[in-house]
Amino acid sequence: MATELKEYEADIDVPIESIQNIDKNVLHKLPIKTKILSVKPHSTSLWTRTACLNVETDGQPGRYFLKTTFGERGRLMVSGEFSSMSRIYSVSPDLVPRPIAWGTYDSMADVHFFLCEFREMKEELPGLDSFPARMAYLHRNATSENGKFGNDMTTFHGNTPIEHGWSDTWEEYFTRTTRVLLEMEQKVQGLNQEILDLSEPFFDKVIPRLLRPLETGGRSIRPALIHGDLWHGNAAMDASSGAPIIYDAASFYAHNEYELAVWRQPWNNIGTAYRLEYCKHFPPSRPEEDFDHRGELYATRVNILDSILYNKDHHYRQMQVNLS
């Protein structure tokens, strides 16, 4: 799910039958001799259908979470989510529900699915005493195998695709992908001359000024695996242990501080206190004095993404201008 959940005037394309009649390709991903006892629609989701599968395996009860999507975009959504969640799980298995599989329905060729374990959650903010430290641990311990920034998978901000690719430097990755996103924003929202006038100094001066020092003058940063859209609607507490849980990941390998960009949004309940606590576990990159300015830069990109996603709402476009 993408950042702030808003009312959205769009029908869900995914047939409701996809969570009423569980396809054999989903069943094949479950343990042998698993019986479906019931299927219950679960949570609010835009562009997808979600359900909790109550099952029995060898006499033992169990539960799984199923998400279904539609079309080629939906296929890329679930494959990107499965890749993202699997990468996080490999480093911090308690932080996310265990991903099991993704695939395509046999009975409906345009329906695709993501399957993971079902964890009972409290709809509360994850604890300030543990959540920032857990995210810092993930960022410190998960890096790209090739040492580059980006991702080999398409991920989604809501239903907005992000083609990452790989870059040798963070500045190159951020510049390249943000240009593409701004072009997309201008198409869906309509041309805005004020933003176009600001874009030239934004790309030619602001980004180099704030990001180039991270990787020059003897300084360096390591690509960190991030969740990619960590607002309060994508985080909760385990109902039994109280431990933090994150989900709906749209991961890529980034400057770790980019994860905090959405924590700067005024509507996000994961806010300033969490940023400050995070910095105790993962101090700001050098030069430290640019930390807040880098955060504002990263928040501008989040606003561009939200302006694409909620293209009937001009609020995020104005936020771009205010931060530029």
Task: Give pLDDT, residue 12.
Answer: 74
In this structure, the number of other CB atoms found within 10 A of the CB of residue 284 comes to: 17
Domains in the chain, CATH or no CATH each: 16-120 (3.30.200.20), 131-323 (3.90.1200.10)
The arithmetic mean of pLDDT across residues 277-286, rounded, is 99
Distance CA 128, CA 98 (A): 23
Beta bridge partners of 54: 38, 63
Contacts of 270 (CB under 8 A, 6+ apart): 125, 131, 230, 231, 232, 235, 262, 263
Task: Give pLDDT, residue 132.
Answer: 99
Task: Give pLDDT, residue 75.
Answer: 98
Distance CA 322, CA 264 (A): 14
Buried b (16+ CB within 10 A) or exposed e, 50-76: bbbbbbeeeeeebbbbbbbbbeebbbb
Task: Give pLDDT, residue 137.
Answer: 99
Task: Give pLDDT, residue 8.
Answer: 42
Dihedral class, residue 43 (left if φ above 0, else alpha if ψ from -120 to 50, else beta)? left
The sign of the CA dihedral 20, 24, 29, 35 is positive
Would you say residue 188 has pLDDT above 50?
yes
Beta strands in 208-260 (DSSP E): 224-226, 235-238, 244-246, 252-254
Task: Give pLDDT, residue 6.
Answer: 46
Would you say residue 13 has pLDDT above 90?
no
Structural tokens at position 53: 């599968």
pTM of this structure: 0.94
The separation between the first and the last C-alpha atoms of the chain, rounded to the nearest angstrom, is 26
The arithmetic mean of pLDDT across residues 2-15, rounded, is 59
Task: Give pLDDT, residue 324.
Answer: 59
Would you say residue 96 has pLDDT above 60?
yes
Distance CA 30, CA 25 (A): 9
- What is the rounded average pLDDT for all residues in the chain? 94
Q: How many CA atoms lie within 13 A of 313 on its CB side?
A: 18
Q: What is the pLDDT of residues 59-90, one digit of tens each?
A: 999 999 999 999 999 999 999 999 999 999 99
Is residue 23 within 8 Å of residue 108, measured between CB atoms? yes
The sign of the CA dihedral 134, 140, 144, 145 is negative
The arithmetic mean of pLDDT across residues 175-204, rounded, is 96
- Res. 318 pLDDT band, cuts 50 70 90: confident
- Res. 245 pLDDT band, cuts 50 70 90: very high
Is residue 55 within 8 Å of residue 71, measured between CB atoms? no
Q: What is the pLDDT of residues 227-239, one digit of tens each?
A: 999 999 999 999 9
Angle, alpha carbons 92-73-246 (nearest 5°)? 20
Q: What is the pLDDT of residues 138-183, one digit of tens each?
A: 999 999 999 999 999 999 999 999 999 999 999 999 999 999 999 9
The arithmetic mean of pLDDT across residues 44-58, rounded, is 91
In this structure, the number of other CB atoms found within 10 A of the CB of residue 190 comes to: 10
- Res. 287 pLDDT band, cuts 50 70 90: very high
Structural tokens at position 207: 């980004």
Picking from 241, 263, 201, the residue whose alpha carbon sits closest to that of residue 3 is: 263
Q: Which of 41-45, 53-57, 156-160, 276-280 has the lowest mean pLDDT?
A: 41-45
Percentage helix, strand, coil, to 5, in the chain?
A: 40, 25, 35
Would you say residue 316 has pLDDT above 90?
no
Q: Tell me the chain's radius of gyration from C-alpha atoms.
A: 20
